[in-house]
Amino acid sequence: MFASVAASAGYGQLITPLLEDLGVFARLGEGGEGVSKEMYQFADKGGRDVALRPEVTASVCRAFAEHRPTTPWKVWYTGPNFRYEKPQRGRFRQFDQVGVEVLGVDDAQLDVEVIALADEFFRALGLQRIRLIVNSLGEPDDRARYVNALRDHFESSSAGLSTTSRETLQRNPLRVLDSKRAEDEAAIAAAPQIGEFHSPAAAEHFEAVQGGLRALEIDFEVEPKLVRGLDYYRRTIFEFQSDALDSAQNALGGGGRYDGLVEALGGPPTPGVGFALGLDRTLIACDEEGVFSSESERPDAFVVDVTGGLHATVITGELRAAGLVADRGFDNRSMKAQMKLANRSAAPSAVIVGEDEVAAGTVIVKPMDGGEQITIRRDELVAHLRARPTTT
Ligand code: HAM
């Protein structure tokens, strides 16, 4: 589904390696913080420092710097990532993401397009309890001035900060804003806000993003304390949160602009924007919201073969080729045992084949709701099952 959402907006699929040079991920966290602290890194047999990818954006920028495709370069991806985190519900050491990245376009309307794609994907899944929060970190100079102001603020109120946040403050004052600890609440509430530091150009860009979202009638909240956990962001950042998940793991996905990243990886100055959505958390949210019905797992027919099993192989093959969902029993079990399986599968019909039916070229179709069974010709089976309502 994600592939069709992305393809409809002109994005092509990109497959990047799971293993990259460690240097590709060097910009993910200042001072060995956050994602870079959680990397699976090691020296390979040739003594090269490599890492399992903790995310895909840096790999996309590395590929861009290496191959220099024409811009705008619009790509989507899917696949596993690895972070050495403390495993818990919604936080795993291997997790899957889908995402998009666009390189070479500065226009705020592209930020809107990218956010709208994620929104469309969540909508297409049927999720309702999703909130979009947006913020702008400003230009690099704005961000640097803000970080200084935050440092001053938190240092003057550091007695009121938790021990963990006092340590975070030394490494990266922005990340103190992420703290959900009660002791930090007052100092965070009184902290300066990034909006006060936006240059006119950054403020204009952020206004244009919000205008685009409003034009598309996509609901959002501006959250001045949103900073995101990766250090490459500039200007727009955003996150999709689910109210169906615990607040510590409620981010289903997020992204933003990372205009300096390609350059940092040896390419020409190139603006970039994108997002990644966590599939594991998205599936948990789908479960919590009950968006997947179990109907789709129910076969249209369950084939019961008491002649050894070869006929079930052929019949299920024919039914599946005709677009029906068919299941069967294995291990040449008794008729009774196979009927039990048919019952458990919740298929509306059992298709029974014994020696007599094989000899006559027929099958027995038994409605599982207790209706009368009938014998029909094998070549009538598909049409017969199609004509039957699939629910009992
Ligand atoms: P991220 O916020 O680190 O951003 O990850 C995006 C999403 O991946 C999270 O919101 C979450 O759903 C999922 N995720 C992250 N870590 C885990 C984990 N340990 N277990 C389960 N799910 C997890 C990025 O990765 C950026 N590359 C996004 C981006 C793309 N920014 C610009 N372009």
Q: What is the per-residue pLDDT across 164-188, written as a single tens digit (0 to 9) for each? A: 999 999 988 998 998 888 999 999 9
From the CA of 277, how far away is ligand 1's center (Å)? Answer: 6
- What CATH fold (topology level) applies to the domain 2-139+199-289? BirA Bifunctional Protein; domain 2 (3.30.930)
From the CA of 25, how far away is ligand 1's center (Å)? Answer: 14
Residue 257: strand pairing partners:
234, 273
Which segments of the chain belong to CATH 3.40.50.800?
301-387
Predicted confidence at residue 380, as pLDDT, reads 97
> Residues 140, 192, 153, CA angle at the centre, nearest 5°?
100
CB 102 within 8 A of CB 72: yes
Residue 305 has pLDDT above 70, yes or no: yes
Mean per-residue pLDDT of the chain: 93
Complete DSSP assignment for 8-45? TTT-EE----SEEEGGGGTTSSGGG-HHHHT--EEE-T
CATH architecture of the domain covering 301-387: 3-Layer(aba) Sandwich (3.40)
Helix, coil or strand: residue 128: coil
Predicted confidence at residue 303, as pLDDT, reads 98
| Atom from ligand 1 closest to the CA of residue 58 | 27
Please give the DSSP secondary-structure letter assigned to residue 343. Answer: H
Phi, psi of 173, rounded to the nearest 5 degrees: -55, -30
From the CA of 278, how far away is ligand 1's center (Å)? Answer: 6
- Residues of the chain with pLDDT > 70: what percent? 96
**pTM for this entry:** 0.87
Nearest CA to ligand 1 atom 13: 278
- CA-closest candidate to residue 198, choices 258, 256, 137, 133: 137
| Radius of gyration for the alpha carbons in the chain, expressed in angstroms and rounded | 28
Predicted confidence at residue 3, as pLDDT, reads 96
| Atom from ligand 1 closest to the CA of residue 91 | 20
Predicted confidence at residue 389, as pLDDT, reads 58
